[in-house]
Every structure is written in structure tokens, then in C-alpha cells.
Chains A and B, each alone.
Chain A
Amino acid sequence: MPTVAMMVNGKKVSADVEPRTLLVHYLRENLGLTGTHVGCDTSQCGACVVDIDGASVKSCTQLAVQCEGAHVTTIEGLAQGETLHPMQEAFRENHALQCGFCTPGMVMSAIDLVKRNKSPSEREIREWLEGNLCRCTGYHNIVKAIAAAAQTMRG
């Protein structure tokens, strides 16, 4: 089995993995980072979005071995102890989550949007979320939360 080494949430990790192991399974099963979820098998739901080298990526579309040397941030790597990232805080404040299952992917994806577009319009937010499914919220409060977080992050 090949060995793969990467930085995950600022920590160096390495393991022997089967070549077919997906990044999401490596994160969940080898590293115990179960905040990244699997909601489909066709790379559409977006529950597994993580940050790889500064871009949001569906971790079910990457093999773990493709991430050799990469810097990966998962939902567990955002908050500083009890202090939430502004995007997490905006989701909490705006009731942008219900069952919580899609939430990690939503938050990771939203952070990438705001990095690329500091003041996204409602339409831009809705279109950006094309790859993230939520069955609980009707997206209403997610859109509100992302707009609010963008404002906070602009300062």
C-alpha cells in the first residue's frame, strides 16, 4: 500500500492507504475527522467539501494519494477552541442549519465563495451553492448567513 503524507488542519499526518481510498474516507476513517460527511455517491450533495490548498473541493472526488503534500482544512480546523469562524458564527446566528448534516460542506464552500467574492449578491450566493444540497432549510437562512458572514469578514 502506498504511503501518503499531508497537512490536515495544520498537523502533519501520514498513513499507508489502499490506492483506491477516497480523501473523504481517509479523513473520516483514518484520522477520525467525522465532521466531513458523505451524502451521495455521485459528487453532487457537497456534504464532503473541504479546503485543499486554498480551494473548496469535494473530498469524495479526490483519492487520498492525490493529496500528497497538500494542505487540507476540514470543518474541525476552523474554530479556535470555543470561538467560531465568522462563517460558522453567521450560520448559528441566522439559523442556517437544522439537522446539521450538510452544514460542514456548506460552511467550507461558503468560505471559499467569500474568499473569491467579498460581497456576493443573493443571486451569486444561490448560484455558488449549486453543488451543495440541503433538505432542511430551503436555503433561505443559509443565503442570509453567507451574506452576513461576508459583511463581517470584509470588516
Chain B
Amino acid sequence: MAASGIGVSVRRVEDFRFLTGRGNYTDDINRPNQLHAHILRSPHAHAKIKKIDASKALKGPGVAAVFTGADIEKDQIGGLPCGWLVTDRNGQPMVEPPHPVLVADRTRHVGDQVAVVIAETRAQARDAAELVKIDYDEQVATVGLADATKKGAPLVWDQAPGNICYDWALGDSAVVDAAFKTAAKVAKVDIVNNRLIPNAMEPRAAIGDYDLAKGNYNLYTTSQNPHVIRLLMSAYVLKVSEHKVRVYSPDVGGGFGSKIYHYAEEAIVCWASRKLGRPVKWTADRSESFMSDAHGRDHLTKAEIALDAGGKFLAMRVVTVANMGAYLSTFAPCIPTYLYALLLAGTYTTPAIFCEVKAIFTHTVPVDAYRGAGRPEATYVVERLVDEAARVTGLDVAEIRRRNFIPRDAFPYQTPVVVQYDSGDYQSTLEIALKTADYSGFAARRAESAKRGKLRGLGLSTYIEACGIAPSAVVGSVGARAGLYESGLVRVHPTGSVTILTGSHSHGQGHETTFAQLAAERLGVDFDKIEVVHGDTDKIPFGMGTYGSRSLAVGGSALVKAMDKIIAKGKKIAAHLLEAAEADIEFKDGTFSIAGTDKKKTLAEISGAAYVPHNYPINELEPGLEEQAFYDPTNFTFPGGCHVAEIEIDRDTGVVQLVSFVAVDDVGRVINPMIVEGQVHGGVAQGMGQALLEGCVYDQKTGQLVTGSYMDYTMPRASDLPTLKVSTHNTLCTHNPLGVKGVGEVGAIGSPAAIMNAVHNAVAPFGVTHVEMPATPERVWRALQSAPKAAE
């Protein structure tokens, strides 16, 4: 099985269809007789809706209907539910406001959905939308995070005084305070984790197709987790029985978190399809994506770390304000709490940590998980703090990390922030990365850059992440309103080919290849006789989908369990056919044999016997060879690693160019190295975007989205990136059957801190100690212009 099993860079099954234009994305699908929907969105951050007059629009050519919030209320359509309840430091539940699919009385962010126009063609729906007269009474908006809690700030929700959703804390503040009193040195940072707009290249789309004959809803949608959408939409929004709803996510053009959530448009097209008796299709414009896809990050943080005289970390204190936007998106409350504060130990032995998080409502687009979700924010705080600690102690940035790493022989390692790491080797990843990056040669490169008038900087990030979020009982105890297991079903066909059905969803990750490799290895079946099916709730078992780098660690583990059931049943059948004791049957490379003999049966022969049970232990075994499993992890997995960035700054323009990037990641067992490297490349590019280019900007007075298109929001382009040097140094996860950890997010988690540390390193000779992220040319130029020292 070496040719296509575990550890081989098998070329992807998916690629032929994508390369020949035969992918099948939601907007490529058209249902017979379908109508087209256009959503009318609020042009104001905060306004009362006084009156909506659709009479002219209804007379427009091809117009079938105009629906508003009043129609939604009349039909008792529910609001979008939030999937995580955070309890605050006083034991009180977070403020959980309603989230209507069409607002009836008040809009709360630019892009809030106010009405839907449905017509024969998309163009007709848009034309008619211009004829809908909406009388708004514009109100003062709360936009900036810094001002949102100030007295007199306009309230987003009356039930949330001070615009506070929750005020949460983790750790023992008294222990931390005591440690700070004994400190030889204290390092501090006051930083912004910039708000990002995810920008998967495929805009969201949805088609609702109500089948009157069967009374079934069919939803085609751009989702990372179709079963989650089916559950939330049927139980809370449409209030119809779940078995009458099919959700199908075909090829999905990237997600990065933004396609996890249940969005209003999904419910609107299903509801409207039933009302109008025809399929209804909606596809977002990019400008709609900017103002309606959930955004990411958006934290303000003050943090400090106490050190002893030898540079050992004694304690850390972190105070964060996190933006929720105007409504609570599906998983928003858990991102700045359980996916953030639990990672603040990083890769270090810091014994005491205290973290406070205030989650705040503002009149902006809801904020939720975006690639990394909480963990890039934690990494940025910890790794900037460590570099600042190196500065105040005068230690080398690598050396201070070495002095504080959790040693390789200390696992399992209990951190002071709840989680227990199972495995890791942080010092080795650091040393390999330093060697690959030629750390010792940096001074010469810096001098060479200086000759060309450029400022060169090098930055490190020795990050940790937690993925494969789990176990269900634990997340449930801290507010998750869902389980976080995964399902897998393995169907061996009568002639021995295999179909795998998984609850995980692939939107670029290449599951159709990786999961087939798993099965090829474990079942000894030829790679090209395996098909992976995902994304269709009518086909796959109930599953939780793909986010948080969970597909292989959780979904792959479910498949292993199901395959092991296949093998166990196959042994029983083989024992019968070979007239041997079951205990004497071995399974290897697709063949069942009696140990120590040449008597054997192939998996295809066994499945043939199972489906044509003429000679079969029918009294003990059911016919057929198909097994299903659910896997609920016993812990998170903990990938980690070291990223080394080198940047050059043009002194005249402030432009920062990333000139070299080394990533040495520990992602556990690697199934397909080519795919793993590709995931890191993409993550690093997004992290570079956060560090240097991307930042969502709202007009602080009006709440208008200033960065509302690719003309204003700077996406990373090919010329912004160097060739990346990516490798792995892996320790195995100890608690899942594959030893895998996850790789989807590591690139985006480690890289912003490494790049920003490099920027700070470059400007340090000028006495500049703080540059805000993203380090745009303007910011860097201004920092240099007002620098305390004129270096050199």
C-alpha cells in the first residue's frame, strides 16, 4: 500500500474536476423554474425602520414578491440561534439578543438584512430592489471598541448596559498579583488584534427548493457543516421537522470559518421557496460578502508578564476587550474565551495566568471564528509579550524562549489555564527553524540590507494551538450547545470497492484524497477503488463538519473506528470460510489469513460472501459489510511549532516586504505531506495578510464599512510573498488512533506574531517599541518619522 497510503504525497482526486471547470459550486447549480432573490441591506449602522413601501417594486417586470421583517414575524420564523452560552465571572449568562433573519424595526449594522426582492431573473430582482422605498430614521451608532463601554455610548441592545455581552475571567488573580510583586522585571504590551474579513474566494450562495409533493425542504448552500445548518435551521428558524430538510453543500470555494455559521439567507430562500412554490436562489456579490459574512478577530488587549532575574516567566496578566458585532453569530461567544484564554500558556511553563475578557456589542457585522479563531489572538499576545520580555531583560529572543519552554519530557503537561498538552518538542522545532533560517547569519544580512537603504528585521514565534475541539462533555460544561464528535461510515461494496461517508466537509482541504489514503492503508484497498462522499445530509450520517482543524483528528478517527469494525466483522466471516478459529485470523494488506498458513481470503472475497451469504455464519452475523462509527475525542490536540520571519522595510515609503519565512510545525502524523505543506502555505499567507496588509476599517462616526471591496481591503497577492520554507518536526498525538494533530490553522496562528516581531526588530534601533498591526506603510513610516532616535 506504499504507493497511496499514509505518508505519501498522492496527487489529489479533486483536482481534475476543478482544473477542467467541472467543479460543482452552489452558484453553478440551477433548479428548474427557479426565481432569484436580492437582499436589501441597511445602508446605516443604526437606524429605526419607519416604513417600507414595496408597491412600486411589486409592479416591476418579473417581480414575484417582496418580503420584509413583518412577513417573517407573521409566519413566526425564528431568529438565528447562537450555539454557545458563556457564563460570566459572576455566574450570570451572557446577554443573548435576538437575531432575526429580516429585521422589522431597527437595523444594527451596515448590511443588516431588511427585505428580500424575488424575481424571475437576478437583474430584475436588483432593478426592483431600487424601487423599494425604505424610510429610515438614522440613529447614532456605537462603532469603535474603545468607546463602546463608555458612559453615554449608544446601546446596541437595551438589555446589554454598557454594551457588554459578558464579562468573563479565568485564573486566580491573587496568585498572579503575588507573583508580580516578586518580579525582577515586568514586560507589557498594549495591542490591537485587527479585525479581518475572511474573503473565501467563492461568495456565499444558497438555493431553497421546497418540494410540495413530499413536503420537504432542499437547501443547497456554501456551508462547512451541512448537518449543523440543518439542525439549527429546522429546529430554531423554520421550526419544521429535521427529517423534512435536506442540506447539500457541494463543492465549496474556501471557508476559513466564515461558512460555519447559519446565515439568514439560507432560511430566507427555503421559507420563500415554500411561499412561492418555486426554487429561490441567492448569490452574494463580493460587496455583500464584505458586509454580511462574519468577520474575525477584533481585540484590544493589555497584557503583562512578570520575570525573575534569570528571565523565567513567573506570571501573566491579560485584559482583553473583544468585539462581537451587533448580533451573536453561531459560535462567537466561545472564540475570545475558551479558544483564546486556554492558549495563553503558549509553549511555556508560566505557572500563573489570569485573563479577563469583556465581550462587547457594537453596530458592526457580527464577529466569529476565522482561521485560527482565538488562537492567533492568544499567540499574538504571548509572543509579542515574550519579545518585549527579551527587550527589557536584554536576553536574545531565542534564548528567552529556551529558558521557558515546557521541556520535551514534561508531557502530559498541565497548564494553569485548564488544558493539558499531550505531546510536543518545542525546543527542537525552534532549533531546526533557527538553523533553516540561518539565524546566526542574520547580522550579515541586516548589514547587507542596510547598504541598500533597507531596514531588516527577524522575528520568531514559538506558538501553540489547540484543535479538534473536544470532548463533548467538557465543551458542554462550559456552554457549548452542541456535541463535538464526528461520524464516519464505511461501505464495502459486494465486489470490494469502498465508499466512505464522512461528516467532515472539504472546502479545499482535499479530504477526498486524504481520507481515501487512510482507507487504502487500513483496509488494503486500491486507492482508486475508494470514493469519499461528504456534504449531503441525505447521504452522510449526522456529523459536525469542518472547522478548527478537526477533520483528520476527529473525522479521521471516526473512520478508523468504522474501518476497525469492518475488519473485526471480516475476521468472523473469514474464520467461517477458512474453517478456523476467529482468534487465528490475521488481517494485513487487504487479506484475511490463518496465521502461519497460506490459507487466505481477500477483502473482496469476504465482502462477496457478506452480500451473497450462501456459505455464511448467518445465525451469528448479519449479511452485508458496512459499518458506522462516531468518535468523541478525549482531549484537544496540540500542534505547535516555530515560525521565523524576515522582513525588509523601505525607509522612504514604510513598505514592509516579507523576504523570508521559515515554518517548522509539529502537526502529528502526516497522511499527505503535499497537502500538509499546502495548508501551511495558505495559513502563512493569511497570517502575513493580518500582519502587514489586511484590516477592516469602519468610519468611527457613521459606522460605514470603509473597506467594503477589494479596492479598499488589501488581500495578499503573489508579489507580497516570498518562497516559503515549510517543514515539519512531528510528535504524535497520544490520544487519537492516528496520532494526528491538525494543520489547517497553524500557518495563520504562528505567522502574524513572527512577522510583527520582525517589524519591531527592524525598527528597534530607532527606539521604536510599538507598531500596530497591520504594519501598513503609513504606520511604519509615521513610526520612523517620530522615532526617538535617528539610528546609525
A residues neighboring B (CB under 8 Å): 18, 20, 28-29, 33-42, 44-45, 47, 74-76, 78-79, 82, 84, 88, 91-93, 95, 97-104, 107, 122-123, 125-127, 129-130, 132-143
Contacts and interface: CB of A to CB of B under 8 A. Distances in A.
B723 A79 contact: no
A102 B686 CA distance: 16
B286 A42 contact: yes
A145 to B, nearest CB: 11
Interface in B64-111: none
A122 B675 CA distance: 22
A91 B682 contact: no
20 contacts: A37-B25, A38-B27, A39-B202, A41-B286, A41-B287, A42-B286, A76-B22, A82-B16, A92-B12, A95-B9, A98-B509, A99-B253, A101-B254, A102-B201, A125-B718, A129-B717, A136-B682, A138-B682, A138-B684, A140-B681
B201 A129 contact: no
Nearest to A91: B19
A99 to B, nearest CB: 3
A20 to B, nearest CB: 7
Contacts of B675: 95
Interface stretch (B149-157, B550-558, B707-715): B707-715
Nearest to B203: A39
A140 B674 contact: no
A130 B15 contact: no
Interface residues of B, number: 57
Given A99-B507, A138-B681, A76 B21 contact: yes
A38 B25 CA distance: 11
Interface in B1-39: 9, 11-12, 14-23, 25, 27-28, 30
Nearest to A105: B201
Nearest to A39: B201
Nearest to A89: B19
A39 B507 CA distance: 15
A95 B19 CA distance: 11
A32 B11 CA distance: 28
Contact of A37 (B14, B199, B202, B715): B202
Contacts of A133: 201, 710, 715, 717
Contacts of B251: 99-100
B494 interface: no
Contact of A75 (B21, B30, B719): B21
Nearest to A142: B718
Given A133-B715, A137-B678, A140-B724, A93 B21 contact: no
A93 B510 CA distance: 14
Given A91-B15, A92-B19, A139 B202 contact: no
B16 A126 contact: no
Nearest to A92: B15
Given A44-B710, A133-B717, A140 B723 contact: yes
B681 A137 contact: yes
A35 B251 CA distance: 12
A34 B28 CA distance: 6
B724 to A, nearest CB: 5
Contacts of A79: 19-20
B580 interface: no
Contacts of B287: 41
B514 to A, nearest CB: 12
Contact of A42 (B14, B202, B686, B711): B711
Given A34-B28, A138-B681, A42 B15 contact: no
Contacts of B723: 122, 140, 143
Interface of B: 9, 11-12, 14-23, 25, 27-28, 30, 123, 199-203, 251-254, 256, 285-287, 507-510, 674-675, 677-678, 681-686, 709-711, 715-719, 721, 723-724, 747
Q: Identify the 8 closest CB pairs spanning chains A and B, nearest first.
A: A35-B21, A100-B18, A101-B253, A138-B685, A99-B508, A138-B681, A98-B508, A75-B21
A144 to B, nearest CB: 8
Contacts of A125: 718
Contacts of B715: 133, 135
B698 to A, nearest CB: 19
A107 B15 CA distance: 13
Nearest to B509: A98
Contacts of B25: 34, 37, 101
A28 B23 CA distance: 13
A35 B22 CA distance: 6
B323 to A, nearest CB: 22
Contacts of A142: 718
Nearest to A74: B21
Nearest to A132: B718
A140 B685 CA distance: 9
B711 A44 contact: yes
A82 B23 CA distance: 15
Contacts of B684: 138
A132 B718 CA distance: 8
Contacts of B14: 100
B690 to A, nearest CB: 13
A47 B201 contact: yes
A99 B20 contact: no
Contact of A103 (B18, B27, B507): B18
A150 B19 CA distance: 17
A130 B718 CA distance: 7
Contacts of A143: 718, 723
Which of B11, B123, B252, B681 is the most central at the interface, judged by chain A CB atoms within 10 Å of its CB? Answer: B681
A57 to B, nearest CB: 16
Nearest to B686: A135
B12 A95 contact: yes
Contact of B20 (A47, A84, A134): A84
A65 to B, nearest CB: 15
B21 A40 contact: no
B24 to A, nearest CB: 8
Contact of A136 (B17, B508, B718): B508
B678 A141 contact: yes
Contacts of A47: 201
Given A92-B11, A101-B253, A40 B18 contact: no
Given A18-B123, A34-B28, A95-B674, A40 B718 contact: no
A36 B253 contact: no
Contacts of B20: 35, 75-76, 78-79, 84, 88
A135 B682 contact: yes
B209 to A, nearest CB: 18
B201 A36 contact: no
Most buried by A among B14, B28, B201, B721: B201
Contacts of B23: 35, 100-101
A141 B681 contact: yes
A133 B716 CA distance: 8
Contacts of A129: 717-719
Nearest to A103: B18
Given A40-B709, A102-B201, A97 B18 contact: yes
Given A38-B27, A41-B285, 20 more contacts: A29-B30, A33-B21, A35-B21, A40-B710, A41-B286, A41-B287, A42-B711, A45-B710, A79-B20, A84-B19, A91-B15, A95-B674, A98-B508, A100-B17, A100-B251, A107-B19, A127-B719, A135-B201, A138-B721, A140-B685
A135 B27 contact: no
Nearest to A133: B715
B19 A45 contact: no
Contacts of A95: 9, 11-12, 674-675, 677-678
B21 A34 contact: yes
Contacts of A20: 123
A26 B18 CA distance: 20
A140 B688 CA distance: 13
A28 B281 CA distance: 15
A38 B253 CA distance: 11
B10 to A, nearest CB: 10
A133 B203 CA distance: 13
B286 A40 contact: yes
